[in-house]
Structure 1
């Protein structure tokens, strides 16, 4: 055990929040998040690592009811396009609850910043590392929300250009996520898409290889703590 390790109860708390994080779609209507809690969540997101310390994330808090409705319409329009693209599973997809935009206490749009091309450090051969950095910020936000007893849903069903135009984003900025935050009725013990029988998560040992593509995993790996 490293001398820099957290205590056993602290480690258990970290692993617990990771294991119990869920992508939430159902929220308690007419609820609120105290401003001090919201500030902690955003600070947790802002503490994420970023390539070249470029901090490419931008958080747009949606407080206008009309704008919230317009965002919901953009998502709903894309929902039907996805159903059409899914073919035989389209009707099944339309039965899924895929967002909580109108019910959640707080709504954010998270975007990649403009002028990203000026950041070369860490992105010369992998320009998508700006998106990886934003994803780290979103994961921090997700885990912090769960630790605060709040649900978070990451909505990715939208036309990026339509959403960017709705929010007046610069041409080289790019929306990445619509984030629903707030109190929830309960946290399920499994991902919602498993509960809804849409798909099933696969075990860790299918994803860990050794030395080259699709070689057997290192001996002794386990998916549990």
Structure 2
């Protein structure tokens, strides 16, 4: 097999992909092309995993009742979380849209199978949490693959992780990692939504890097 060459043009495109990978909350309702979701999940499964354990489990949510139950739960948690704010910050928070569970054409829950036999425990004896971190890399991989296909992804995090397994009828030992909304964005932008709405600016790279 010939080793690929990633030249300056590709690196420029990769940089743009990273810049345009945004957390999307506003979706068009039109469906994704047939088979595209499968393609994106296949890309996610090429992500790295500790001991090659490949612990990710993707659950496509098709039931309107389950989708609505998730949306109602998230709305409730958003309201409760808003009680910690006051004044202008509270008004700003109340105006934020934190999910697209009712509009996005595809909803996918992502779990970590902590009892899977693959990998034989390699690399995680002292840091078992790396199994879940491996699933997070899969989420980021599907995020980039989606963006490269013109599809937006929103990661819904304001949810009770302990209720998801029963709601979706999946094995109890699967650990919930992420609830993802996928679809075509209502608008394309390289500016994070929370920056655009004045919640939090991007920090300069120098503030997150230390040299010892």
For the criterion TM > 0.5, the same-fold answer is yes
Unaligned runs of 5+ in 1: 212-225
Contact preservation (8 Å) 1:57, 1:111:
yes
Aligned equivalents of 1:28, 1:55: Cα separation in 2: 32
Deviation at 1:121, TM superposition (A): 1.6
Deviation at 1:193, TM superposition (A): 0.4
- The Cα offsets for residues 114-168 of structure 1, whole Å up to 9 and x where unpaired, read as 4159953221121111121111101111111111011100111100111222012
Contact preservation (8 Å) 1:114, 1:170:
no
Contact preservation (8 Å) 2:21, 2:190:
no
Contact preservation (8 Å) 1:22, 1:187:
no
Aligned equivalents of 2:129, 2:10: Cα separation in 1: 33
Partner of 1:181: 182
Partner of 1:138: 139
Deviation at 1:64, TM superposition (A): 1.2
Name the SS for the 1:199 alignment partner. coil
Contact preservation (8 Å) 1:20, 1:189:
yes
Structure 1 residues 15 and 168: CA distance shift in structure 2, 3 A: same
Deviation at 1:55, TM superposition (A): 0.9
Unaligned runs of 5+ in 2: none
Deviation >6 Å, runs of 4+ = none
Length, aligned pairs only: 208
Partner of 1:93: 93
Aligned equivalents of 2:195, 2:122: Cα separation in 1: 40
- Correspondence 1:96-135 to 2 at 5 A: 96-115=96-115, 120-135=121-136
Name the SS for the 1:35 alignment partner. coil
